[in-house]
Amino acid sequence: MNGLKPYLKLLRPHQWVKSGFVFVGLLFGHAWHNALLVQNVFLAAAAFALAASAVYVLNDLADRERDREHPEKCHRPLAAGTVSVTQALLLAGACMVSALVLAQAVSVSVLAILVVYAFLNVAYSMGLKHVVLLDVFIISAGFMLRILAGTLGVGIVPSHWLLLCGLMLTLFLGFAKRRAELNAMEGRGGAHRKVLDDYDPALLDKLIGISATGTIVSYSLYTVSAETLAMHGTTNLIYSVPFVVYGIFRYLFLLHRRGGGGDPAAVLLRDAHLIAAFSGWLATVLLLLA
């Protein structure tokens, strides 16, 4: 098992939680009673999980020298030398081929969205990650493509309000990640990630504040919109808003007072308050929509 540990660490399976964005359409589109649709959404989520792992491997390959300058990322398998470049490339290739096969099994649309996701991330790794602001928008685009795969890709019409909310939430997470990286590097951000030289705490705090506000406002407006009333027959989704607000405020607390935020997936899976907020939100939404 110890021999497999570096490879599992390289794939970052805890990041597969991000594929949860694929299920947004299934949840808010009242489509969970359609067994074939549910199956296709799960396959699409699995495809994006594998594709994301392939992307992480390639990113780690490109960043292994810089990761050695980071207090935590220096322990990643490629930076630490526990996995070779050849082994990493073979692993990434196997994950990407499997992802494409699963996507094709769902629909041509999901396959096309996955290919766009892959090319976007290759472009990110090849240089766009060094372009200030655009780097975070590309990270956000990866999440938005997941939402589109779980809606347009399987025949569910996406809500414009939820797309806007998804955009603002993922920008919030992206800028918070950059802020956490600045905190961790203590003034040596550029040694780890070149683009950090173009950011500063004051700018990032403003961008985080705008994104957090946009997330709360767009989700709140969705819960009481005419579209929601027509789709779900209720505007009581407003009662799920406090969970969203608490979750964002908790994330900001962890970012500024507990050194968190550098890995959104890990924070969500480890912090009891965020787990409780998400569980409360999900239970409330399911209760009201059911």
- pLDDT by residue (tens digit) across 198-257? 999 999 999 999 999 999 999 999 999 988 888 888 889 999 999 999 999 999 999 999
Instruction: Identify the structural domains of the chain with CATH numbers, from first to last.
Output: 11-158 (1.10.357.140)
d(C-alpha 149, C-alpha 41), whole Å = 8
Interval 119-156: pLDDT, tens: 999 898 888 888 999 999 999 999 999 999 999 999 99
Nearest by Cα to 196 from 184, 210, 181: 181
pLDDT of 187 higher than 70: no
Query: Are the C-beta atoms of 110 and 149 separated by less than 8 Å?
Result: yes
Looking up tokens 């990866």 gives 142
pLDDT score recorded for residue 1:
43
Q: At a CB cut-off of 8 Å and minimum separation 6, what does 135 contact?
A: 124, 128, 129, 174, 178, 195
For the four alpha carbons of 79, 80, 85 and 88, in that order, the dihedral sign comes to negative
Q: At a CB cut-off of 8 Å and minimum separation 6, what does 49 contact?
A: 13, 15, 16, 18, 19, 99
CA distances from 185 to 68, 188, 192, 194 (A): 12, 5, 8, 12
Query: Are the C-beta atoms of 40 and 109 separated by less than 8 Å?
Result: no
Query: Between 60 and 185, whose confidence is greater?
Result: 60
Stated pTM of the model:
0.88
Query: Are the C-beta atoms of 50 and 114 separated by less than 8 Å?
Result: no
d(C-alpha 211, C-alpha 79), whole Å = 33
